[in-house]
Structures are given as structure tokens and as C-alpha cells.
Structure 1
């Protein structure tokens, strides 16, 4: 039987087969996507759409917060930054301020880029190549 929506099947398979590191990267990318959509909706004065996308970005930030390992020293610092991003998203939603969305996006982008670099370095150490295939 053929899949009803091949793209959805692909997405589900990508999530189900991703490593924990790749899942974190997906969360960062998703958060950035929802912030971008929220900003566009804000500019078009689509209040409901803006609110929904900001709430999705906030949910991702909350998920990132709960996945931190409490015993790691860096987690305390990351938690504070995630909390700041979460508050900026709330304030941007209430005040309808695109600059606050930009500020939140920049911090998430920095985390994403750093995380992406860590994944690439791990692949090089594990497999001797960036692509994961020897």
C-alpha cells in the first residue's frame, strides 16, 4: 500500500532514526523556523498565526530546557540562556516586537551552529569523515 503522504512518512522516519544529537539539532532548526514564521505573521498583522508560531517556539525551548543534564556545569549557563530566550519570546508576543524575536533567534542560531559543529566533529572522530560514511 502506498503512503498517503510521502513527505510526512519521510519526516517521521527521519525523527525515528535520528541520534539524540541530531534530534537536538532538529529542535534548534524547528525553533528558528517557528520564530521566522512568527515574525512574518507579525509583519502581516496575523495575530493568531503569530501567537501559534511563538507558542511552538516556546514549547521547543521548554523541551531543550528539560533535556539538559542537571549535573553538568554548562547546563546551569544554558538553562539561564534558554530561560532568557523563552521570556523574550513571551515579551515579543505580548508587545508585538520583531526585534525581540530577532534577539531570541540569534541566540538559538548560535546554539544550533555550535551544536552542528559538535556533531560534525563527532562524526569525523567516529568515521573519519563528515558524512558519516567511511
Structure 2
């Protein structure tokens, strides 16, 4: 998965970090990459740079589809994984429509959705503060 996610992320300078990242950190890197690509695409859309807008939207779609969606373990993740898969698919559809229709609001929507998911993923990775939670398994994203 690390090499596949690295390809989706598309930045050689992160190769070492990705290769040594925990599964949790890798998902955070994917969220960061997708959000950054969407925000940069919005900038290029506003400035009329169609080619760069298209390239960055394609990059964001690849990160979501080939990285986040592909990392889901639908068997182990159950309903949560199914819901995330539906949300990732929706994000890809909105990105495609944003590119086709020059729709900045769709880009903003996807950036916000991915940002919320990233925030939730960050919370999952925090150590349990309450002693009563010791020994309880954390939320498992699935095989990464």
C-alpha cells in the first residue's frame, strides 16, 4: 500500500516519510495531499489557468480514489468503511463535476469534507486520556 499511496500522492520528496509512516500517519498524509491539491486547483480556477486546475483536480481525485478509498478494508471496517467509501466516491464525483463545470463551490465543498474527515482521523490517533479507556481497542481504519 505504501508505494501505491506514494504514487497517488505524487511527490517524490515525501518518499522517505511515506515509506516510514505508520498506517495512521499515511492516511493523514493522503488527506493533506488531497486538500492541498483541491485548494491549489481553486486558486488556478480563479486565475483562469485551466491546465493547472485540471492537473490538480486529477491529482486530488487520484489521492482520494487510489489512496484513501483503496486503503479501506471493507470487511474489517463494516458499515463505517462502507460509509467512508460512499463519501470518498462522492468527493471524486464532485471533483470531476467541479473540473467540468468550473465550479469553485464544489471544490470548497470537497476541501471542507476532507478537512472534517482529517480532523476526525487526527482525533482517532490521539492517545486515550481517560484511564478507563485503557485496553480498549481504537477505531481500525482497515488494512493500510
Query: TM-score per shorter chain, which class?
Result: 0.7 to 0.9
Aligned counterpart, 2:102: 96
Q: Which deviates more from structure 2 when the two are superposed, residues 42-51 or residues 70-79?
A: 70-79
Q: Determine which structure has greater relative contact order: mean sequence separation of CA pairs < 8 Å that are 6+ residues apart, divided by chain length.
A: 2
> Which stretches of structure 1, 4 residues or longer, exceed 4 Å deviation after superposition?
122-126
TM-score (norm 2): 0.76
Aligned counterpart, 1:130: none
**Where do residues 109-120 of structure 1 align in structure 2 (5 Å cutoff)?**
109-120=115-126
Deviation, 1:121, is 2.7
d(CA) in 1 for partners of 2:125, 2:44: 33
Aligned counterpart, 2:5: none
Q: What's the CA shift string for 1:8-66, capped at 9, x where partnerless?
A: 66x33211211011000000000000001100000000000000000000001102111
Question: Is 1:65 equivalent to 2:46 in the alignment?
Answer: no
Gaps of at least 5 residues in structure 1 are 1-7, 127-134
**Where do residues 19-98 of structure 1 align in structure 2 (5 Å cutoff)?**
19-62=22-65, 63-71=67-75, 72-98=78-104
SS at match of 1:121: coil
- How many pairs align? 118
d(CA) in 2 for partners of 1:123, 1:19: 21
Which structure's CA Rg is the greater one?
Answer: 1
